[in-house]
Structure 1
Amino acid sequence: MHQLLANAAETGHEVYLELPFPAILFGVIAMSVFLLLGAITWSYRDVANRHDHKTSNNAHH
């Protein structure tokens, strides 16, 4: 590998890593993951209030 890089440097060619898909897709995937995690977090809102009867000491239920 080192010899390949040395040969590329001598001939003036740049060595670069080709991405498996377009760069914009990395942002789209990241945004999708964050939106999914946000939706999961949002779905747990008000859970403590729904189960308040389990922690209260009164005998209403």
Structure 2
Amino acid sequence: MSFAPLIALAAQQAEHSGNVMLETIWYPIVSLIVFGALACVALSYKGVSNRHVHKAAAYAKAHPDEAPQAGHGH
């Protein structure tokens, strides 16, 4: 087969395909679900460091001389 009949055959096959968006609608739906779930996981960690401020303040009050030193290995 030469190149011209291949192009004609490809064009004929392209005419019979349906709506490409409807055939691939699951890709954006699945990606939105996956990224939405990942966003929920990321947002669940919001404010984790501030949840136990009262415990950190109580520990600092009970151990005033154990303040962390600046630098490495102190």
Q: Shorter chain as normaliser: what TM range?
A: 0.5 to 0.7
- 1:31–1:51 CA distance, 2 compared to 1 (3 A): same
TM-score norm. by structure 1 comes to: 0.54
Q: Find the residue that maps to 1:59 and give its secondary structure.
A: helix
> Which residue among 57, 60, 63 is the counterpart of 1:58?
60
Q: Find the residue that maps to 1:48 and give its secondary structure.
A: helix
Structure 1 portions without partners, runs of 5+: none
Structure 2 portions without partners, runs of 5+: 15-19, 64-74
Higher relative contact order (CA 8 A, sep 6+): 1
TM-score norm. by structure 2 comes to: 0.47
Determine if the alignment matches structure 1 residue 13 to structure 2 residue 12. Answer: yes
State which structure, 1 or 2, has the greater radius of gyration over its C-alpha atoms: 2
Q: Where does residue 32 of structure 1 map in the other structure?
A: 33
- Count of aligned pairs: 51
Q: Would you identify which runs of 4 or more consecutive aligned residues in structure 1 move more than 6 Å?
A: none
- 1:42–1:60 CA distance, 2 compared to 1 (3 A): farther
For the aligned residue pairs, the C-alpha RMSD in angstroms reads 3.4
Percent identical pairs in the alignment equals: 22
